[in-house]
Amino acid sequence: MKKMDTVKLLSVCIIFVSFLVGCGSSKPLAEGSDLMTTIAAQPNLTTMSSLLKTPGLADAMGTAMHEPFTLLAPTDHAFDSLGSSGLSDLRNPANVQQLAKMLRSSIVPGNHDAAELQKGGISNAAGNPLNLDGVTLGSTIEAGKKIHIIPVDKVLTKP
């Protein structure tokens, strides 16, 4: 093989490997997805919308956000109850695992409405029984055919 062909092949390989490495932990959840578009359109879920854009969150969440699922989305007021330091900790990309843990506790596999969730006997994506004692659930918002979002007035697992 000619020296020039070897240089071209090596260049292509370097670009390809760089692309694969770059697609790793820094990617956020899909911007144009039904989930992201629907949450961004809710005036009381702006904090949740910004947190879902945290780099690396998609990888940290693993399979927890595979469809269908119900997201119990804390409202802006619910996040305010964490205080400024609690919220800034969640926003810190270095704490993406902590954010993912909080979100897994707020995701319920399958589509459910508020009445069904309040009956109990359902586990969240973390595998723990869902505890909604003292939590007020809002009206279900459909984000596409397989995702339900229910605003809640509390963060279900404190960071």
Provide the CATH number for the domain around residue 48. Answer: 2.30.180.10
Q: In what order do the strands lie in the sheet with 69-74?
A: 107-109, 69-74, 147-152, 141-142
Residue 43 domain-assigned? Answer: yes
Residue 15 domain-assigned? Answer: no
Does the reported pTM lie above 0.85? Answer: no
Residue 2 domain-assigned? Answer: no
Residue 45 domain-assigned? Answer: yes
Q: How many domains does the chain have?
A: 1
- Which among 97, 142, 104, 94 has a CA at the least distance from the CA of 124? 104
Say which residue, 35 or 26, is predicted with more confidence.
35
Can you give the pLDDT at residue 64?
81
Residue range of the domain that includes 82: 27-152
pLDDT in tens, 101-137: 999 999 999 999 999 999 989 999 999 999 999 999 9
pLDDT in tens, 36-77: 999 999 999 999 999 999 988 988 888 888 889 999 999 999
Can you give the pLDDT at residue 134?
93
Residue 77 domain-assigned? Answer: yes
Can you give the pLDDT at residue 159?
61
Residue 145 domain-assigned? Answer: yes
Residue 89 domain-assigned? Answer: yes
Residue 86 domain-assigned? Answer: yes
